[in-house]
A and B are shown apart, each in its own frame.
Chain A
Amino acid sequence: MIWQEIETLPRAGLESIQLRRLQGLVYRMYDRVLPYRCKMEAAGVKPGDIKSLADLRKLPFTTKDDLRDNYPFGLFAKPMEDVIRVHASSGTTGKSTVVGYTQADIELWASVMARCLTMAGVTRGDMVHNAYGYGLFTGGLGAHYGIEALGATVIPVSGGNSKRQITIMRDFGSTVLLSTPSYALNLADAMIDAGVTPDQLKLRVGIHGAEPWSENMREEVERKLGIKAVDIYGLSEIIGPGVAMECLHTERGMHILEDNFLPEVVDPDTLEPLPYGEAGELVFTTLTKEAFPLIRYRTKDISRLFVEPCGCGRSLIRMEKVTGRTDDMLIIRGVNVFPSQVEHVLVGVEGVEPHYQIEVTRDGNLDVMSVLVEVSEHIFSDEIKVLENLAKKIQAEIKDMLGVTCKVKLVEPRSIQRSEGKAQRVIDRRKI
């Protein structure tokens, strides 16, 4: 089923809509967002220079650093009185990424989410169990408004308390589950503990995103919950969930709602756009957002674009499941973690010089982050309790700053591998 006709337009028709929207966007950014205007001036490009979609490459990129430099609202294109909502995601060294929405943006977000839900076969007759976290994170509320716009029934259950979630699922007859893939597996385990079998539930489809997951994990979710599991992609900078979505054909990738989010894949080193089918860094331009539009935002996610038509009838470009990052960001239980944040905490804890390593493993369905810290003479003590307190303090500060519980392991000096004098900061042993 298709929610909007625009999804099946011939490419030429879609591209003319994209161009018109892009031209309008560039004028708006030039007029209202001073930091971006400065970038355009430095690049010697004027709004009138954008005459075709190919001219997109003339425009400067926007990066996470630009967001940080203009924290919190410096890149907003609308006065604050027009902004009716903000969301934020965890930042690298204390500064989070803040995004804003006008009334029209909230409606846009609801409509793109509704279109995504439709791709997964969700209709107004469905009972949708929304287990994404509600709050500053865009997942919960973004999905919520989309479910309502579609006319389905939303259960705003948010994350946590798996046992209660199983009861609600069974008693309310939830037909659709929205959650991170790892939480879906947690729920599957909680079901077994509660003695509930999949045939006692009405679950039909799971929509999972916000963290990387493998085909093996998809197969596991489908088998354990007895559902069809599909992938959804989004990031708060672009809008939140609702940027791209797999249809039930699940033929190689997620349909990008490119009438709103114009995708490119660029070489992360040369920044030159790459042809369809080649892997590189995913870049988005938000064509229709008002409060916080972005031109050529570098996501640091690695993917590929496919333009061949899909069996579902949509002509929208598809993006491959994200296969990696161009930076060192880790996603631990749905939370973005940068090694620099851990380093920041270690420097802050008195006396600890940052010789450390982050090790990520998966225990059952749960990501486990261990921070190995080398014990220097500076922090060493002949008393056990002093060292134990140090480990506890590091653990507490990481939890405080990142919202992630980790294990802290004190290790002997030089036991952390160094290659050419540089320590390998992250070892990810999860099989994703």
Chain B
Amino acid sequence: MRVEQIAVFLENKSGRLAEITRILAENDINIRALSVADTADFGILRLIVDKVDRAKEVLRGGGFTVGKTNVVAVEVPDRSGGLAGVLKVVNEAGLNVEYMYAFVNKSGANAVLIFRFDEMDKAIAVLQEKGFVLLTGAQICAL
């Protein structure tokens, strides 16, 4: 129940994000979700794409430093309190969120929350036990 995510190191200079999206577009890779974390000097782009290994390969070929990490995708109803319900469980279980981002799927009924936890196995077990819907990479791409 893990989703593969690609992370790319971004130097803080103009045109880098444009270059990444250009490479992905040229290789017919679709971005399902993304977030950028930044500091004064550098940034990290996190992507969920339909063709993970291909994306990694072409970005590497373009001279980028690319990493592959596992994240958890939780599907919740798109209404107020959706995220709060997940975080309540996470907090009670003593889990730490390293980072998270979210997107709303096409149907508009559900939102997908992407989490990176300090203890991934424990997080998956706790969330499943509480009845949350965890998505696979293939399911995200099919949304």
Q: Show the binding face of A for B, using Cβ within 8 Å.
A: 375-377, 380-384, 387-388, 391, 409-415
Does B98 touch A at the CB level, under 8 Å?
yes
A380-B7, A382-B116, A387-B42 known; A414+B67 contact, CB < 8 A: no
Closest to B38 in A: A384
| A377 contact set on B, CB distance < 8 A | 65-67
Question: How far, in whole Å, are A382 and B37 apart by their CA atoms in the complex?
Answer: 9
- CB < 8 Å neighbour of A383 from B16, B66, B98: B98
The binding surface of chain A is classed by DSSP as loop
Closest to B16 in A: A412
The binding surface of chain B is classed by DSSP as strand
Q: Give B47 Cβ to nearest chain A Cβ, in Å.
A: 10
Whether A382 contacts B69 by the Cβ 8 Å rule is yes
Number of interface residues of B (CB under 8 A): 21
Binary A-proximity of B11-46 (CB < 8 A = 1, otherwise 0): 100001000000000000000000001010110101
Closest to B9 in A: A375
Q: Give B125 Cβ to nearest chain A Cβ, in Å.
A: 22
Looking at B37, B67, B69, B116, which has the most chain A CB atoms within 10 Å of its CB?
A: B67
| A376 contact set on B, CB distance < 8 A | 65
Whether B39 contacts A412 by the Cβ 8 Å rule is no
Whether B44 contacts A412 by the Cβ 8 Å rule is no
Q: Show the binding face of B for A, using Cβ within 8 Å.
A: 5, 7, 9-11, 16, 37, 39, 41-42, 44, 46, 63-67, 69, 98-99, 116
Whether B42 contacts A381 by the Cβ 8 Å rule is no
Whether B63 contacts A414 by the Cβ 8 Å rule is yes
| B41 contact set on A, CB distance < 8 A | 391, 409-410
- Given known contacts A388-B39, A410-B41, what 8 new A-B pairs fall within 8 Å (CB)? A376-B65, A377-B66, A377-B67, A382-B7, A382-B46, A387-B9, A412-B9, A413-B65
Q: Give A24 Cβ to nearest chain B Cβ, in Å.
A: 59
Question: How far, in whole Å, are A414 and B65 apart by their CA atoms in the complex?
Answer: 10
18 A-B pairs whose Cβ atoms sit less than 8 Å apart in the complex: A375-B9, A377-B65, A380-B65, A380-B66, A381-B7, A381-B67, A382-B44, A382-B46, A382-B67, A383-B99, A384-B99, A387-B44, A409-B41, A410-B9, A411-B42, A412-B63, A413-B63, A414-B63
| B10 contact set on A, CB distance < 8 A | 412
| B9 contact set on A, CB distance < 8 A | 375, 380, 387, 410, 412
Looking at A383, A391, A411, A414, which has the most chain B CB atoms within 10 Å of its CB?
A: A383
Question: How far, in whole Å, are A387 and B9 apart by their CA atoms in the complex?
Answer: 10
| B11 contact set on A, CB distance < 8 A | 410-412, 415
Whether A384 contacts B66 by the Cβ 8 Å rule is no
Whether B37 contacts A384 by the Cβ 8 Å rule is yes
Question: How far, in whole Å, are A191 and B94 apart by their CA atoms in the complex?
Answer: 56
| A413 contact set on B, CB distance < 8 A | 63-65
Q: Give B97 Cβ to nearest chain A Cβ, in Å.
A: 11
